[in-house]
Amino acid sequence: MNFAVLQFPGSNCDQDCVHVLADVLGHSARLLWHKETSLGNADAVIIPGGFSYGDYLRTGAIARFSPIMHAVQTFAANGGLVLGVCNGFQILCEAGMLPGALIRNRSLQFRCENIFLKTETRNSPYTNAIPEKLMRIPIAHGEGCYFAQPDTLSRLKANDQILWRYVSAQGETTELANPNGSVDNIAGICNERRNIAGLMPHPERASEAILGCADGKSIFESIIAWQQQQAVAKAA
């Protein structure tokens, strides 16, 4: 499978994503500078974490107008898989490709810690191969408080678009388990068509046992499994 990992000025998780996809999972992954205008032969696009354009104005607000984002929007409009991690999630919300917005953490603090993540649905290209247990994945953000208007939130729930929530070690969605004040403990969502997703936690930082935890790998494995199912269905 061919992954394209976007690189904006200020991206800093791009190499980690390429490492996991290529070295850990054995797939093709290449970096794509934001000034590029084509995604080439990519089967899926990863928008990595970081501080694109120094987070000036609002997180992701400037990056969404980079030339490569036109290609990403066309790719997604044709059903292509696009996953945004952390700053990538912020960029997708700013671009209007995912509903809602990410605002300053309730605590006003940058939070960098391991959290427990509950996968709320396996019905998506990003969650289908995740085992039936909580994931332990790091977060590292100052603006990760997910906000959506009540009607948007109702639609997210009605369409099963909430992919992940912050939970306690016992799997409960408590206030204490919510690291940033996100509405309804939301950590990650997908669009209605389910081909675009974003999450604040960093699965690429928890994809190898040597790093203390490999739970995050199952998100990337889900994408690969999904792509393979699609290829089989197409051939049949």
Q: Does 49 bind another protein (CB under 8 A)?
A: no
Q: Which is nearer to another protein, 33 or 56 (CB)?
A: 56
Q: Minimum distance between the CB of residue 54 and another protein, rounded to whole angstroms? A: 15
Closest alpha carbon to 148 in 111, 198, 79: 198
Closest alpha carbon to 142 in 54, 19, 64, 26: 54
Q: CA 161 → CA 53, 137, 142, distances in Å?
A: 29, 20, 24
Q: Which runs of consecutive H residues, i.e. helices, occur in 102-201?
A: 150-158
Binding mask 180-199 for another protein (x = CB under 8 A): -x------------------
Among 61, 140, 213, 225, binds another protein (CB under 8 A): 61
Q: Which runs of consecutive H residues, i.e. helices, occur in the chain?
A: 14-18, 68-77, 87-94, 150-158, 217-235
Closest alpha carbon to 201 in 124, 109, 117, 110: 117
Residue tagged active-site, from 27, 34, 141, 202: 202
Check residue 133 and report its DSSP letter: S
Among 19, 30, 104, 111, binds another protein (CB under 8 A): 104
Q: Does 65 bind another protein (CB under 8 A)?
A: yes
Look at residue 165 and give its three-state secondary structure.
strand
Q: Cβ–Cβ contacts within 10 Å for residue 121, how many?
A: 16
17 catalytic, yes or no? Answer: no
Binding mask 120-149 for another protein (x = CB under 8 A): -------------------------x-xxx
Q: Does 57 bind another protein (CB under 8 A)?
A: yes
Q: Which is nearer to another protein, 26 or 96 (CB)?
A: 96
Q: Does 111 bind another protein (CB under 8 A)?
A: no
Q: Does 55 bind another protein (CB under 8 A)?
A: no
Q: Does 110 bind another protein (CB under 8 A)?
A: no
Q: Does 101 bind another protein (CB under 8 A)?
A: yes
Closest alpha carbon to 187 in 94, 110, 105: 105
The residue ranges that bind another protein (CB under 8 A) are 57-58, 61, 65, 93-94, 100-101, 103-108, 145, 147-149, 181
**Active site members:** 86, 202, 204
